[in-house]
Structure 1
Amino acid sequence: MLTGAGVSFSIQDAGVDEDAIKIRLTGTDPADLALELARAKALAVSRKDPHAWVLGSDQTLDLEGTMVSKAPDLAAARLRLLSMRGRTHHLNAAAALAHDGVVVWSGVDTARMTLRHFSDGFLDHYLAAEGEALLGSVGCYRLEGMGSQLFDRVEGDYFTVLGMPLWPVLDELRRVGVIAT
């Protein structure tokens, strides 16, 4: 997304133990959890390189009050998609900007997404075509690919679904002078 928007960046693993944060924040609203994970990632990298502007991001999926985590394998992805078939979930995308070891901005956006009543045959074809790439997505879909066929309706920003609330991030990067106004 940032490349497409013309923003130069480099990637660094934050080394954040997401599972420990999730355990510590058990019971937290999924949108707030996404925000805390994004903040933790931005802070971890900013503390290593305090003069850099660091953007951290994360997503959480709320299926009717239950937080869903990434599937460990394609069998679990199949079960996940079957459990979501015909149902609506909320996908929360959060981002945080840190500088000098301090979070200077953070935000979260939520998309409301309804999967259609797809056939078992379509699901098998989808899983075979997309393969293990789906395991990197909390919802086991990529809306920018064949996953778009899973849905009846998506309400919210496309970039939020892809993983980051891009418009607010770009606004903040302009505000702090990282990109041109």
Structure 2
Amino acid sequence: MKTALVLASNSPRRRQLLQEAGLTFTIRPSTIEEHMDQKLPPSQVVTDLATQKAESVPKNDEEVVLGADTIVTVDGKILGKPSDEEEAFKTLRFLSGRTHEVFTGVALVKGKETSTFYSRTEVTFYELTDEEIMRYIGTGEPMDKAGAYGIQGKGALFVKEISGDYYAVVGLPLSKTVRELKKLGVSLP
């Protein structure tokens, strides 16, 4: 029997990455309220959140459920998704001219087994003017993204340098994910 893949997310970015990899999957979004323990290291925060999502989705023994979560940190401080334009502005002003870390955690659940991993990527921004930040906020792009920017969109114009997995910053460390799915019996293209 083939092992089917279930994505426990409504994220258009994760969906697009899996499609680009040629994977066939079903979307069954997690609806749980996430619980984040900010005392934990960022790597554990993202794998815990990914696990919460993946384990909350109904599944059968022929399915692997993929849960993922992404956070942005600066000096150990977690920067979430902005609640409004003012918070987006403050976040982007804070990231201006600095290096931050993007952690993406992945949980794969098959039957009673759960495996997790994470990716850590450093992203450095150019110095940003208030005008650049306001113009970007006006696009609406920062409002549903950790750290208030999307590297795959107009936020790419702020990026001076990246060290690590670009796709993890988008929302899913794709190569590692595909390799782990293969180990669990998911058919690959």
Give the alignment's TM-score, normalised by structure 1: 0.89
Identity of aligned residues (%): 27
Note the C-alpha offset of 1:180: 3.5
| 2:55 pairs with 1:43 | yes
Matched, 1:11 2:23: no
8 Å CA contact 1:114, 1:153 repeated in 2: yes
Matched, 1:71 2:82: yes
Where does structure 1 lack aligned partners over 5 or more consecutive residues? none
In 2, the alpha carbon distance for the partners of 1:84 and 1:36 equals: 25
Q: Tell me if the contact between 1:92 and 1:111 (Cα under 8 Å) persists in the aligned partners.
A: yes
**Structure 1 partner of 2:13:** none
Aligned residues: 172
Alignment of 1:26-41 (within 5 A): 26-41=38-53
Task: Report SS of the residue matched to 1:10.
Answer: strand
Q: In the TM superposition, what whole-angstrom CA distance separates every residue of 1:107-151 from its partner, at most 9, and x where no partner exists?
A: 1001101111121111122221x21x3221111111111111112
Query: Does the CA contact (< 8 Å) of 1:38 and 1:56 recur in 2?
Result: yes
Q: Which one of 111, 134, 140 corresponds to residue 100 of structure 1?
A: 111
Whether contact under 8 Å (1:43, 1:102) holds in the other structure is no
CA displacement, residues 83-130 of structure 1 (integer Å, 9 cap, x when unaligned): 111111100011111012431x211001101111121111122221x2
Deviation string 1:48-70 (CA, Å, 9 cap, x unpaired) is 22322100000111111111111
**Does the CA-based 8 Å contact 1:43-1:101 persist in structure 2?**
no
- Give the gaps of 5 or more residues in structure 2: 1-16
Please tell me the residue identity of whatever aligns with 1:118: L
In structure 2, the partner of 1:123 is 133
Please say if residues 50 and 101 of structure 1, whose CA atoms lie closer than 8 Å, have aligned partners that are also in contact. Answer: no
**In the aligned structure 1, how far is the partner of 2:132 from the partner of 2:38?**
35
TM-score, reference length from structure 2: 0.86
Matches of 1:147 and 1:172 in 2, distance apart?
A: 29
| CA distance in 1: counterparts of 2:136 and 2:107, whole angstroms | 33
Report matched runs for 1:133-148 at 5 Å: 133-148=141-156
Q: After TM superposition, which residue ranges in structure 1, 4 or more long, deviate above 6 angstroms? A: none
